[in-house]
Structure 1
Amino acid sequence: MHQVRLLPHDITFTADERETVLQAALNAGVAFPNRCQVGACAMCLCRKLSGEISYQLEPMLTEKEQAEGWIFTCQATAKSDLVLELD
């Protein structure tokens, strides 16, 4: 289990490596924006400030977007504690 801290709301929840970050947030009762849950609508897009994630399938993000820390939480699983920023 990994701790996920969501800024600027300062909400913390736990994520298991077998569930996506979005699933973990929703299971914890966090009102995380989402619609399609397959990485097509970009509603769950947020910025990873620290930590490590992995994807089962590579996301539809440019190299620049990935370098800036953008992640699709509906596709990402936590591999360490995370700090995320959701505007």
Structure 2
Amino acid sequence: MNKHQVRLLPADITFTATEHESVLAAALNAGIAFPNRCQVGACAMCMCRKLSGEISYQLEPMLTENEQAEGWIFTCQATAKSDLVLSLDTD
């Protein structure tokens, strides 16, 4: 089972995610207070920006082409395919 390091900025928190769990589930399992509500990609609370790394989705989330180009991801739907650097900075 592949494990990947996920780094959350600006807090600089690191946790491990497997390819069999969502990035959000991995963060919550690591005790990280990650914003979320629905966990199915509808509320957008868990959206953050991917600065580097590869993810995949089982179901493509409702993101515009612009949002995807800017690196926005739904962590409740995304699984890590490599080490990731994510930004929770909402500005």
**Normalised-by-shorter TM-score class:** over 0.9
RMSD: 0.4
Q: Corresponding residue for 1:71? A: 73
- State the Cα distance separating 1:11 from its structure 2 match: 0.1
- State the Cα distance separating 1:48 from its structure 2 match: 0.1
Structure 2: which amino acid aligns with 1:78? A
Distance 1:70 1:5 in 2: 15
- Give the counterpart of 1:22 among 15, 21, 24: 24
Identity of aligned residues (%): 89
Q: Corresponding residue for 1:53? A: 55
Distance 1:41 1:62 in 2: 15
Distance 2:17 2:10 in 1: 19
Structure 2 unaligned blocks of 5 or more? none
Q: Corresponding residue for 1:40? A: 42
Aligned length, in residue pairs: 87
Q: Structure 1 residue runs of 4+, over 3 Å off?
A: none
Q: Report the TM-score, using the length of structure 1 for normalisation.
A: 0.99
